[in-house]
Homo-oligomer: A and B are copies of this chain.
């Protein structure tokens, strides 16, 4: 294996960080690196809630993949993966096929619909640039239609967000700021618009400290957000939803249901011949698939147990990027010789945005932060992700520097 072929699937946080690290540590002749991605751009999936609410332009939250890869070392293929055939060491693409010596599966997440009737057909999700800007346009279109109807429909102004987890709350935070702008633009009273979070658990942001949760709910309720906790989404229709809370069913008319409550690994993993555990690959400490040691899995498709809290690590950008660093190190070790490292998570803190001027979370030492301090820390985290995949040039181009707004 004089020049091993390394194929990386997906240019999200996991895939792109892997490639960024590989191209630094491997020489031109050490390996043939190929990166496959559906789009010719990487999007900041942790910024998509802003694109979806319409508070940042889609272009702000993405960049060309060719701007950050070294084309002397990495071959970029813009194509869609259709199948992984690990037994044959092959990947099938819409327009071709690739064989590999080492494969990195970094295909990210897709929405999990838990079989809720009508969800797949009628709800919007925040999973990509395309989907996020569809939400923005969908919202604006509802507002634009409202004053054009002989009988204005309240369901155009009711916005339901399914899920009070990280994505749902960050989206609602932006939405709470965006709605007054939309009302002004389309001549609609703010008091007519409802933003309703439906969460099956008895709390939003499960796992966060109760003081942080309290802070977030106060911030959002102060901007007119309603919470339905312990409430189950039973059905999603084009013009309404059914919710069950405390054994009682309620119908809420709405043309806009945004589903932010569940993600699963890309379906290609489950469909492949790699051994999986409910769609994810329960990787070895070195992040290899037990059934196929030449396959590494990073990011949302990898299942790793966090022994400290006896739960799996959640699908976050921070974890995907840390996994990518271990994965890249181990690939370099396999190609050039050296010791493989097990993945170890270093908690750099988690900050949840609550809109342009508010946020909450905890930093690396566990200290809780709120408000302006937290918004600044959030920007530090966002810029750090850019630095990791694209270096300082990318940070300067796309980074968030205005510490008085989130843009």
Contact = CB atoms under 8 A, between A and B. Distances in A.
Interface of A: 39, 58-59, 130-131, 133-134, 136-138, 140-141, 143-145, 147-148, 185-187
Nearest to A147: B130
23 contacts: A39-B187, A58-B185, A130-B144, A130-B147, A130-B148, A130-B187, A133-B144, A133-B185, A133-B186, A134-B144, A134-B145, A134-B148, A136-B144, A137-B137, A137-B140, A137-B141, A137-B143, A137-B144, A137-B145, A138-B141, A138-B144, A140-B140, A140-B141
A133 B185 CA distance: 10
Contacts of A187: 39, 130
Given A59-B185, A137-B141, 10 more contacts: A58-B185, A133-B185, A134-B145, A134-B148, A137-B144, A138-B141, A138-B144, A140-B140, A140-B141, A141-B141
Contacts of A140: 137, 140-141
A130 B148 CA distance: 6
- Total identical chains: 2
Contacts of A133: 144, 185-186
A141 to B, nearest CB: 4
Contacts of A143: 137
Contacts of A148: 130-131, 134
A127 to B, nearest CB: 10
A136 B144 CA distance: 9
A212 to B, nearest CB: 34
Contacts of A141: 137-138, 140-141
Contacts of A39: 187
A48 to B, nearest CB: 14
A131 B131 CA distance: 26
A151 to B, nearest CB: 14
Contacts of A147: 130
A111 B383 CA distance: 52
Contacts of A137: 137, 140-141, 143-145
Nearest to A137: B144
A81 to B, nearest CB: 16
Q: By CB atoms of chain B within 10 A, which of A59, A138, A143, A144 has the most? A: A144
A321 to B, nearest CB: 26
